[in-house]
Amino acid sequence: MILSMTGFGKSVVELPNKKITVEIKSLNSKQLDMSARVPAAYREKELELRNLVSRRLERGKVDLIVHIETITEEAAITLNVPLMAAYKKQYEEMAAALSIPLPEDWYSVLLRLPDAIKSDAHEALAEDESEALVEAVSKAVEELMQFRAVEGRKLEDFFTARIDNIRNLLAEVPQYEGERVAKIRARIEDGLAKLGSIDYDKSRLEQEMIFYIEKLDVNEEKQRLAQHLNYFMETMATGQGQGKKLGFISQEMGREINTLGSKSNHAEMQKLVVKMKDELEQIKEQVLNVM
């Protein structure tokens, strides 16, 4: 079963005086691209959390958000007045230098600045809190992996339907091949007839026509495309981590479909090729989401 790179996971772990909430979301990306928003109190654990997440998720654009909420009044919260005074002074100097107005609501501006509010609750990270943090991240990761599995099943159904459609379109090609060769041969003979009484070697002409028609033969392209369709399905069934390989196979499918179209010389066959390309483009678009 394949996995999607798209996912979301959330977990909440409560301690006697705190509630830790972790959210993780992921989107498609060629490599692992992780950003983390971790409270200052947990910065010492950030590297460990990143490693924990990266081992499980492997690929994708990942956002890790950790939020801590104090649920008792034990924490001593103070305003960092000296720092806010320094911020205010710099704002006033900037406003004078740039000739711009000062903020109307100083409270909302200053209280949002870094370290404007101090808390003595997190001077040292207790062991139980550290373990709760790791547990919360692990649970969020597992929930995200379950989400990826659900989305992966949807992608699997989608790809199976698209592959079946291409296979059915490919099965329609042979009905036009005999007619196509006959029309090509008739067109060449009509062209020669219009030239009038020109003497030519009919045996050599026959050889050249056979050579020309062989160049337009699409049996190899049909066989290779059928093999690629089977290989895509086999690869999809092998499990997770096959996204890049499925992308390569879809590229090879595109080459065979394009060659089939360039050799077709038949309106109905070209319609089939256009439909195949439409199905393949849908596959290529969604295969970017596969792990």
Asked if 201 and 265 sit in the same domain, the reply is: yes
Most confidently modeled range among 210-214, 218-222, 285-289: 285-289
Domain region containing 106: 77-118
Q: Is residue 2 part of a domain?
A: no
DSSP labels for 174-185? HHHHHHHHHHHH
Q: Give the model's confidence band at 201: pLDDT under 50 very low, under 70 low, under 90 confident, else very high.
A: low
How long is the chain?
A: 291
Asked if 175 and 278 sit in the same domain, the reply is: yes
Asked whether the beta carbons of 32 and 5 are under 8 A apart, the reply is no
Asked if 191 and 106 sit in the same domain, the reply is: no
Under DSSP, the state recorded for 101 is P
Say yes or no to pLDDT of 207 above 60: yes
Q: How far is CA 205 from CA 147, 183, 192, 209, 210, in A?
A: 65, 17, 10, 6, 9
pLDDT in tens, 93-140: 998 999 999 988 888 888 888 778 766 554 556 788 889 999 999 999
Say yes or no to pLDDT of 278 above 90: yes
Asked if 160 and 196 sit in the same domain, the reply is: yes
Q: According to the 3-state scheme, what is the secondary structure of 248-269?
A: HHHHHHHHHHHHHHHHHCCHHH
Q: Which two tokens stand for residue 222?
A: 């049909």
Is the overall model pTM greater than 0.95, yes or no? no
pLDDT in tens, 91-101: 899 989 999 99
| Distance (Å, whole) CA 70 – CA 84 | 24
Could you give the number of structural domains in the chain?
3
Q: Is residue 188 part of a domain?
A: yes
pLDDT in tens, 45-87: 899 999 999 999 988 999 999 998 877 655 556 788 888 999 9
